[in-house]
Amino acid sequence: MAKRTTRSRRPGTVRALLARHSGPDAAFGRRLVLAVTATAAVAVPFALALVLVESRWPPLYRLDRTTAERLHRTALEHPAWVRVLDFFTGVVWDPVTMRLLVAALVVWLLTRRAWRLATWAGVTATSGALIGFLVKNVVERARPHLPEPVAHAPGFSFPSGHAMTAMTSCAVLLLVLLPLVPRAWRALPWALAAAAVLGVGYTRVALGVHWVSDVVGGWLLGIAVVTATTLAFEAWRADTGRPRTTVSEGLEPEISSAGDPEAPSRPTAPSAL
């Protein structure tokens, strides 16, 4: 009798194990592993850049020096061009300007009752600023020292705060506002964001306040921060039964519709077929 009882319980035990490995806990575990893996993958390039900078890798060192010296000669020969660069880097693409744009976006999202999207935008911008500041003070890389400098900037050099802020801010603005832009016009915000990110990087090197590797490091670290927070937001969407989105659709396409953008997703009725 004992043997029969043991055998009769085995199918139930197997079903329980299968249910345990396919339930909400397993789904959360899979999303957690995916988020950690994706975040680590995008953080690897920044970590590599940091190692190369700290070790003063000769090819990177030569690239930094030759680019800085060449652009510095151009700046000395064209004072009017320096004023243009200074206006864009100090006003149009200044970190304060970028953060004010994100702050305005957060306020608008709050008026739309998009609480979680507003939180995501605020957390992404704030964490990016804090992480960039911490990394700067840990690395303590000196800024370029060039003869007859055309611009000055306080603090340490790696990573570029301007480049990182431009990357995180433009990513936040794009991922939130893309659903409001007609598909035929979506190439325009992408072009504006690319111009801002690349333009910031160029101005910082051309003005002699950053190395090329500082700018690239800022971009890479900004991408890593946005990826981590975006994966957390996607996990919330999955928990509420919402479909996955793509970068071209924006982070929450429902923001373009009337009503509460965070209302629970209604399950679709089963087909009669």
Three-state secondary structure readout of 27-65: HHHHHHHHHHHHHHHHHHHHHHHHHHHHCCCHHHHHHHH
- Per residue in 116-129, pLDDT (tens digit) is 899 999 999 999 99
72, 78, 145, 210: which is the annotated catalytic residue? 210
Q: The whole model's pTM is what? A: 0.81
In tens, the pLDDT along 205-227 reads 999 999 999 999 999 999 999 99
What would the mean pLDDT of 243-257 be, rounded to a whole number? 78
Q: Which of 72, 78, 152, 162 is catalytic?
A: 162
Assess whether pLDDT exceeds 60 at residue 173.
Answer: yes
Taking the C-alpha atoms of residue 32 and residue 235, their distance in angstroms, rounded to an integer, is 8
Active site residue 210: yes
CA-nearest of 195, 215, 172, 181 to 93 is: 195
- Give φ, ψ of 93 to 5 degrees: -110, 20
Check if 162 is active-site: yes
Per-residue pLDDT of 51-110, as tens digits, reads 999 888 999 999 999 999 999 999 999 999 999 999 999 999 999 999 999 999 999 999
